[in-house]
Chains A and B, each alone.
Chain A
Amino acid sequence: QKTRSGILGRLGAIFQENEITEALWEELEETLIMGDVGVATTMELVERTRDRVEREGIKSTRDAYLVLKQEMVRLLESDEPLHIDEPRILTVVLVVGVNGSGKTTTIGKMAHYYKQRGRKVVLGAADTFRAAAIDQLKIWAERAGVDVIAHEPGADPGAVVYDAIRASQESRKADLLIVDTAGRLQTKFNLMKELEKIRGVASKLVHRAPHEVLLVLDASTGQNAISQAKSFKESAGVTGIVLTKLDGTSKGGAVLSIKRELGVPVRFVGTGEKLEDFALFDPVAFVEGLLGDS
């Protein structure tokens, strides 16, 4: 059993003291910053909580704590529906992100998740660059029991996507295609352009595709997460985030800033390296995890 030592684990204790003091707000700020929430978002959250506590005449630290949780959950919630679940002949999901964030693993887990929910899933191996990326995806596909459409290493990713869509529509009769892409740092202009091209191929073949573009974000990422979300939103049209490696001691607080600044919601979480370590994002559970309160 892994220890549940959330960096913000102390927070519950702070709020068990009786008096709401200046020190409490400072400690709160400190703990949020240590959870990678970022200075600006931390300040805003604390301010909003303070305002409400004063306006609503809240006297107990317990109630103040609940206000904070509410504010964090409210920031993370999204009204936008997840487009994967909509009825459609073929739904195309594009998975993007920086190197090593967990894209290929996430796709394996996601294939399993949707297969179990009755979908016919196909994977597209459009990372033709990284050594053994195609082999890795094939192993995951086998674990999940789904098909993969792949070319040789070094092939054009656009051509892979083209074939993957065609195969999904025709021979495989799939209703969900999930496309793996090579990891790329958001500052690499040409590689980001390549994502635009992949999008173009998908949208020509399938109405409004890709229907979801998921940015896979490692929970241990610090403030660079915001730069990632910004760039991948611009180039690839990111619609949601998969927050991976939440089984580690990092709690992924950067997603609060991403939601606040860019409006991009978290959709799924990855909590390990096994097929089942994947779930829909639950803002309440996430906040409790972040605050070390679950």
Chain B
Amino acid sequence: MFESLSDKLQAVFDKLASKGKLSESDVNTALREVRLALLEADVNFKVVKEFIDRIRARAVGAEVMNSLTPAQQVVKIVHEELIELLGKPVPLDLSGPPPHVIMLVGLQGAGKTTMAAKLALRLRKSGQRPLLVAADIYRPAAIQQLEILGKQIDVPVHSEGTDVPAATIAKNAVRLAREKAYTTVILDTAGRLQIDEQMMQELEQVRMVTRPAEILLVVDAMTGQEAVHVAEGFNQRVPLTGLIMTKIDGDARGGAALSVRYVTGVPIKFLGTGEKLADLEPFQPDRLASRILGMGDVLTLIERA
């Protein structure tokens, strides 16, 4: 049922096989399949366009055109370029003096609250003393949700109910962290649309009073073409330092990660791999590239090339 990119490319080249040396237009036919695969993976249309231009230069070179296995060669080039674009994994920046503030932002339902708890667990295990902060005063039961998660991982949660502005709660939390020697303060903010002026102002205020070391955009792996505008919208108001992609445990190809990385230039830091609080992985570019191409086994394929 599932035809991977390399099968499709193989079919393209099989049709041409008799003609001997490949022409530029043969390669372009193959690149159409690549384009389609990337669009099906939800990579943004414009990003795909620029990406294809980038790999065309390499694909019309001798590597592919003289190869006995052109399909594999094209896959290899695409894979390598994807890895390049996705960038290297970058750890959390905890270099300054503590407490380090980590602020999670994103659209509604992306997975911020869960991710806040996952990061807290990870930091606690690495010897830090994290404090979780319930700065979502809007979503029904958001505070309870964070408190339940905090209890599960034995990390304290600072909350002040729903009548205090988010920025005040965040500011108080940082002061508390200083007093009680917490080393990291993880701010769970409410989900919001990047076009919601009032809510974006709230984020700016939270940032101003807490001076976060990290502002991480949480993006759902299932997000489609608009991911670029969402990321640009957040990045303009609160300069992002990293991206986190959640719900990668399903069958979404996660092309939005590439789009968001491409338009913001900020590194992808973590992947959310499930609903449990241990389900967190550092980002690995090669694996994400394979996933976007719909080929889990791309590495073995390349070894054969």
Contacts and interface: CB of A to CB of B under 8 A. Distances in A.
A41 B194 CA distance: 28
A139 B197 CA distance: 26
A274 to B, nearest CB: 11
Contact of B251 (A33, A38, A101, A186): A186
**For this complex, into which size category does the number of interface residues on chain B fall?**
35 or more
Contacts of A245: 107-109, 193
Interface of A: 2-3, 5, 7, 30, 33-36, 38-39, 98-102, 129-133, 135-136, 138-140, 185-188, 218, 220-225, 227-228, 245, 247-250, 253-254, 273
27 contacts: A7-B229, A35-B225, A36-B226, A100-B108, A100-B109, A100-B111, A131-B144, A133-B141, A135-B141, A136-B141, A138-B141, A185-B251, A187-B249, A218-B109, A220-B223, A220-B227, A221-B224, A222-B42, A222-B222, A222-B225, A222-B255, A222-B256, A223-B253, A224-B250, A227-B252, A248-B107, A249-B226
Identify whether the interface residues of A are mostly helix, strand, loop, or mixed: loop
A7 B148 contact: no
Contacts of A225: 222, 224
Nearest to B149: A131
Interface stretch (B3-11, B33-41, B171-179, B204-212): B33-41
Given A132-B142, A224-B252, A248-B226, 11 more contacts: A36-B226, A38-B40, A39-B39, A39-B40, A98-B222, A100-B108, A100-B220, A136-B141, A220-B227, A224-B42, A224-B221
Given A131-B148, A248-B193, A185 B250 contact: yes
A222 B145 CA distance: 28
A35 to B, nearest CB: 7
B252 A273 contact: no
A135 B145 CA distance: 9
Contact of B224 (A99, A138, A222): A222
B195 A250 contact: no
B109 A102 contact: yes
Interface centre among A101, A245, A273 (most CB of B within 10 A): A273
A223 B108 contact: no
B196 interface: yes
Interface centre among A3, A139, A187, A222 (most CB of B within 10 A): A222
A220 B193 CA distance: 11
Given A100-B111, A131-B149, A250-B226, A227 B141 contact: no
Interface in B13-59: 36, 39-42, 44-46
Interface of B: 36, 39-42, 44-46, 107-111, 138-142, 144-145, 148-149, 152, 193-197, 220-227, 229-230, 247, 249-253, 255-256, 275
Contacts of B253: 223-224
Nearest to A142: B140
A220 B233 CA distance: 15
B223 A221 contact: yes
Contacts of B145: 130-132, 135-136
A249 B250 contact: no
Nearest to B109: A100
Contacts of A36: 42, 224-226
Given A34-B225, A100-B110, A132-B145, A220 B251 contact: no
Give the 7 A-B residue pairs with the shortest CB-CB distance, closest first: A222-B224, A100-B109, A222-B42, A185-B250, A139-B140, A132-B145, A136-B141
A263 to B, nearest CB: 19
Nearest to B254: A224
Nearest to B226: A250
Contact of A187 (B107, B197, B224, B250): B250
A227 B254 CA distance: 14
Nearest to B251: A187
B251 A7 contact: no
B252 A3 contact: no
B45 to A, nearest CB: 5
A250 B194 CA distance: 11
A140 B225 contact: no
